[in-house]
Amino acid sequence: MTTSQPRLRIAMQKSGRLSDDTQALLKRCGLKLNVSDRRLLAHVSNMPIDIMRVRSSDIPGLVMDGVCDLGIVGDNTLEEEELDRQLKGNKSAYIRTTALDFGGCRFSIAMPEEFEYTGLDCLNGLRFATTYPQLLNRFAKANGINVEFCLLKGSVEVAPRVGLADGICDLVSTGATLEANGLKEVAEVFHSKASLIQRADPLCADKQGILDTLLPRIHGVMKAKESKYIMLHAPKDKIAQVSALMPGKETPTILPLAGRDDIVAVHVVATETFFWETMEKLKGLGCNSILVMPIEKMMG
Ligand SMILES: Nc1ncnc2c1ncn2[C@@H]1O[C@H](COP(=O)(O)OP(=O)(O)OP(=O)(O)O)[C@@H](O)[C@H]1O
Ligand SMILES: O=P(O)(O)OC[C@H]1O[C@H](OP(=O)(O)OP(=O)(O)O)[C@H](O)[C@@H]1O
Ligand SMILES: [Mg+2]
């Protein structure tokens, strides 16, 4: 009898704000995924990994309970579940393995536009509609104010207008939803991003091996996203000035150009933003054919 190799189980949001970015990240890590709307446990065909597609609010619990080995979830959802479990005396341990570069938003208190906000004290005793009462409660306690809650899982911004609450505490990114509902942001409670989390108890050797392959790929994808490959032709006698203008700490590669003694090719991987102003300065030094290219993958 043969025993099959254990498969690493990763929980991701089925549909919503994090699902496209999560799926794109996994695909860029080389995972061949067959995701269709109805398939809730998707098999990765080229690695021993299964992707469990669930509501994002279920992900922290699935990882904390050890049902899934890894999960990709917003820090707001994660900390809300952790605080809630701690309050109830339930298991709440996990490892935050990697802070990811998507899902950025803030969890903020917002009041009707006409409300005269003079500081946190003026919110004392008011009632707030929110999806994340524990996060708001922690913030209120830390700031010495008492607030009441009204729990809404979505469309939180409607609450003040229909008399459900005095204000709201919800996720904001562009601020368009607040504006469309006559609300203004008055205080940031929590800054959130997506994180890769891992169950707290050690993985078996096989699963740890899969994770050891996956993690450098995730870091490589993130690093590649923020890096650019820069190529240009520079006058040979200006190499020192050109090199000094290059963003990042990498030493440029200098290559000869066939049949030219006066010009060289300069190549560099830039991990910092390469501004138009820098390109203009390089042009001023006599450089030309300046190319800035995206990088797909990076390692080492
Ligand atoms: N406007 C936004 N901009 C950026 N990130 C956001 C925004 N709204 C939510 N997020 C992040 O995406 C996560 C998922 O939000 P989304 O609205 O898709 O799902 P949900 O309704 O909160 O949860 P569920 O998947 O359980 O139904 C949030 O927990 C937060 O971390
Ligand atoms: O600042 P903005 O860019 O306008 O984004 C903020 C909105 O996005 C989220 O809701 P979502 O659109 O995910 O709907 P939901 O309430 O159904 O989850 C959040 O709960 C806000 O309502
Ligand atoms: Mg939402």
Which DSSP string corresponds to the chain? -PPPPP-EEEEEESSSTTHHHHHHHHHHTT--B---TT-SEEEBSSSSEEEEEE-GGGHHHHHHTTSSSEEEEEHHHHHHHHHHHHHHT----EEEEEE-SS--EEEEEEEETT----SGGGGTT-EEEES-HHHHHHHHHHTT---EEEE-SS-GGGTGGGTS-SEEEEEESSSHHHHHTTEEEEEEEEEE-EEEEEESSPPPHHHHHHHHHHHHHHHHHHHHHT-EEEEEEEEGGGHHHHHHHSSSSPPPEEEEETTEEEEEEEEEEESS---HHHHHHHHHTT-EEEEEEE-S----
Please count the CA atoms within 13 angstroms of the CA of 10 that sit on its side-chain side.
28
- The confidence score (pLDDT) of residue 271 equals 82
Domain ranges, ordered by start, for the chain: 8-102+194-224, 105-192, 227-294
Residue 169, ligand 2, Cβ within 6 A: no
Spatial contact of 100 and 152, defined as CB atoms under 8 Å apart: no
Q: Could you tell me which CATH class the domain 227-294 is placed in?
A: alpha beta
Spatial contact of 32 and 228, defined as CB atoms under 8 Å apart: no
- The confidence score (pLDDT) of residue 39 equals 78
Domains 8-102+194-224 and 105-192 share a fold: yes
- The confidence score (pLDDT) of residue 37 equals 67
Would you put residue 147 in left (φ > 0), alpha (ψ -120 to 50) or beta?
beta
Q: Could you tell me which CATH class the domain 105-192 is placed in?
A: alpha beta
> According to CATH, what is the number of the domain 8-102+194-224?
3.40.190.10
Taking only the tens place, the pLDDT of each residue in 151-164 is: 999 999 999 999 99
What is the whole-number distance in angstroms between the Cα of residue 57 and the centre of ligand 1?
9
pTM for the model: 0.90
Ligand 1 test: best mutation among 18, 130, 191, most atoms within 8 Å of CB? 18
Distances (CA, A) of 205 to 5, 8, 209: 11, 11, 6
Smallest CA separation from ligand 2 atom 3, residue: 174
Distances (CA, A) of 85 to 18, 72, 106: 23, 19, 23
Instruction: Please state the atom number of ligand 2 nearest to the C-alpha of residue 172.
Output: 1
Residue 155, ligand 2, Cβ within 6 A: yes
What is the whole-number distance in angstroms between the Cα of residue 17 and the centre of ligand 1?
5
Smallest CA separation from ligand 1 atom 15, residue: 17
What is the whole-number distance in angstroms between the Cα of residue 15 and the centre of ligand 1?
10
Query: Can you say whether the dihedral through the CA atoms of 192, 81, 211, 37 is positive or negative?
Result: negative
**Average pLDDT, 10 consecutive residues per value, the chain (300 residues):** 82 96 96 81 94 97 98 98 97 97 98 97 98 98 97 96 97 97 98 98 97 96 91 95 85 93 94 87 96 88
- The confidence score (pLDDT) of residue 22 equals 97
Distance CA 142, CA 209 (A): 42
Amino acid at 150: C
Query: Can you say whether the dihedral through the CA atoms of 175, 176, 177, 182 is positive or negative?
Result: positive
Distance CA 44, CA 41 (A): 10
Q: Which residues line ligand 1 (CB under 6 A)?
A: 13, 16-18, 55-57, 74, 76-77, 103, 105, 154, 171, 173, 192
Taking only the tens place, the pLDDT of each residue in 99-153 is: 999 999 999 999 999 999 999 999 999 999 999 999 999 999 999 999 999 999 9
Distance CA 112, CA 114 (A): 6
Spatial contact of 136 and 214, defined as CB atoms under 8 Å apart: no
Residue whose structure tokens are 């809650």: 149
Ligand 1 test: best mutation among 105, 172, 178, most atoms within 8 Å of CB? 105
What is the whole-number distance in angstroms between the Cα of residue 258 and the centre of ligand 1?
54
What is the whole-number distance in angstroms between the Cα of residue 63 and the centre of ligand 1?
18
- The confidence score (pLDDT) of residue 34 equals 78
What is the whole-number distance in angstroms between the Cα of residue 205 and the centre of ligand 2?
40
